[in-house]
Amino acid sequence: MRGLHIPSPLTTLPWKMLLVVCGLTGFGLLVLYSAAGGAMTWAMPQGIRFVVFLGMAIGMSYFRPTFYKEWTFLAYAGVLVLLMLVEAMGAMGGGAQRWLDLGPIRLQPSELMKPAVVLAVARFYDMLPAREINKWMAVWPALVLIGLPAALVMLQPDLGTAIAVTTGGVTVMFLAGLPLRYFIGAGAATAVAVPLAYNFVLHDYQRNRIMIFLDPEADPLGTGYHITQSKIAIGSGGLTGNGFLQGTQSHFAFLPEPHTDFIFATMAEEWGLLGGLIVIFGFALLLKWGTSVALASRGRFERLTAAGLTMTIFFYVAINLMMVMGLAPVVGIPLPLISYGGSAMMTIMICLGIMMSIDRQNRLDPRRRQPD
């Protein structure tokens, strides 16, 4: 087993980053405790899940980046097959389904696809000779790698995850050095395509969510209810919040999904703007660490992977926060580490595990050039 690394001293772990992750999760557990009305209903399983997945991430960090590089395409293909499986089961079961039931665990392959796409696209540009970067050959395989899973997820239908998968992959393409005009052109094309997609591709409920996002107060008791109630929770929190366990929006069930997608609103009602600053600052530290890992990497795969995974985490945070503050439509993306639920937690920990592996390699031998 060439990829196995002899365990380094614990000092090679990025302690500051881990402290931030623990801090964010710990704060999240407090909010979950309050959201359950002062009970461990959600906080306990979430805490256990965190410990398990953190252990997994640290374990992952002891594998070398080369290991991930070698298994990338196989893992990508595997997740793609799982996605198709979910799609097929949904078609047979007569209802849209996003997960596979594996006994005690419900595996959501679309979650695994978020890091898998980043790894696969990074691996592709890693293999591509530098001089080929301006050619058509440098574009279409990456587009297939991104488009296939994105289309499958879109079929589920899960707009949020499809955009997340696409964003991760496209970020890697951008960082790989594709000519800028491609992105400008794609941006212009999107501007044209969005109205078309809105009319012909999106489901009614998705279209409705976008309409409501544009004018939530038009339908305060219908679908706009989510956004309005979320803004009421955040807005009534003020600077320092109503106090721990004192939120009425969440406790009296005015706020929908107070422990999952809208947990930031639950938090903001009780902790106010200060709580929001703590959370945003925490994530900023985490993302800064990710970016610095990417910049410190020597290998092209490591660089692109670290930056792409950072983007994946950022996407979660940004979309979720924009959603709860009424800056984005309600797409059902949780706030990583804080929202109750295993799938997002697992994805984030996979990202962190791989990034810690890259970080470890950077620290151990900063001047060593990668063989590829």
Name the nearest CA neighbour of 332 among 163, 216, 215, 180. Answer: 163
Pick one of 99, 254, 278, 363: the residue that binds other proteins (CB under 8 A).
Answer: 254
Q: Is 360 in the site for other proteins (CB under 8 A)?
A: no
Closest distance of CB 267 from other proteins, Å: 11
Residues in CB range of 144: below 8 A, 6 or more apart? none
Dihedral of alpha carbons 311, 317, 323, 325, sign: negative
Name the nearest CA neighbour of 169 among 193, 197, 192, 141. Answer: 141
Strand, helix or coil for residue 63: strand
The residue range among 94-102, 151-159, 249-257, 340-348 that interacts with other proteins, by the rule CB under 8 A, is: 249-257
The residue range among 16-24, 109-117, 295-303, 336-344 that interacts with other proteins, by the rule CB under 8 A, is: 295-303
Q: Is 291 in the site for other proteins (CB under 8 A)?
A: yes
- Near other proteins in 143-202, by CB under 8 A: 171, 174-177
Going residue by residue from 211 to 230, which x/- string records binding to other proteins, judged by CB under 8 A? ------------------x-
Residue 101 backbone class (left: φ over 0; alpha: ψ -120 to 50; beta: rest): beta
Q: Is 207 in the site for other proteins (CB under 8 A)?
A: no
Pick one of 35, 43, 268, 346: the residue that binds other proteins (CB under 8 A).
Answer: 268
Indicate the residue among 200 and 252 with the shorter CB distance to other proteins: 252
Going residue by residue from 317 to 356, which x/- string records binding to other proteins, judged by CB under 8 A? -x--xx--xxx-----------------------------
Rounded Cα distance between 170 and 178, Å, is: 10
Residue with structure tokens 């805490």?
A: 47
Q: Which two tokens stand for residue 299?
A: 């290998």
Pick one of 194, 245, 280, 364: the residue that binds other proteins (CB under 8 A).
Answer: 280
Q: Is 278 in the site for other proteins (CB under 8 A)?
A: no
> How many alpha carbons lie under 13 Å from residue 15 in its C-beta half-sphere?
4
Residues in CB range of 285: below 8 A, 6 or more apart? 16, 17, 20
Q: Is 307 in the site for other proteins (CB under 8 A)?
A: yes
Q: Is 273 in the site for other proteins (CB under 8 A)?
A: yes
| Partners of 101 in the β-ladder | 106
Closest distance of CB 273 from other proteins, Å: 5
Closest distance of CB 156 from other proteins, Å: 25
Q: Is 304 in the site for other proteins (CB under 8 A)?
A: yes
The residue range among 14-22, 142-150, 316-324, 337-345 that interacts with other proteins, by the rule CB under 8 A, is: 316-324
Strand, helix or coil for residue 99: coil
Residues in CB range of 282: below 8 A, 6 or more apart? 20, 23, 24, 27
Q: Is 41 in the site for other proteins (CB under 8 A)?
A: no
Q: Is 253 in the site for other proteins (CB under 8 A)?
A: yes
Strand, helix or coil for residue 4: strand
DSSP 8-class letter at 340: S
Rounded Cα distance between 298 and 61, Å, is: 17
| Residue ranges of E strands in the chain | 100-102, 105-107
Closest distance of CB 327 from other proteins, Å: 6
Rounded Cα distance between 323 and 367, Å, is: 43
Indicate the residue among 89 and 273 with the shorter CB distance to other proteins: 273
Indicate the residue among 82 and 234 with the shorter CB distance to other proteins: 234
Q: Is 239 in the site for other proteins (CB under 8 A)?
A: yes
Q: Is 314 in the site for other proteins (CB under 8 A)?
A: yes
| Partners of 106 in the β-ladder | 101
Other CB atoms within 10 Å distance of the CB of residue 221? 7
Indicate the residue among 10 and 221 with the shorter CB distance to other proteins: 221
Altogether, the residues listed in the chain come to a count of: 372
Q: Is 363 in the site for other proteins (CB under 8 A)?
A: no
Contact (Cβ atoms closer than 8 angstroms) between residue 333 and residue 261: yes
Query: Would you tell me which residues interact with other proteins (CB under 8 A)?
Result: 130-131, 133-134, 171, 174-177, 229, 231-239, 248-249, 251-254, 268-269, 272-273, 276-277, 280, 283-284, 287-288, 291, 294-295, 300, 303-304, 307, 311, 314, 318, 321-322, 325-327
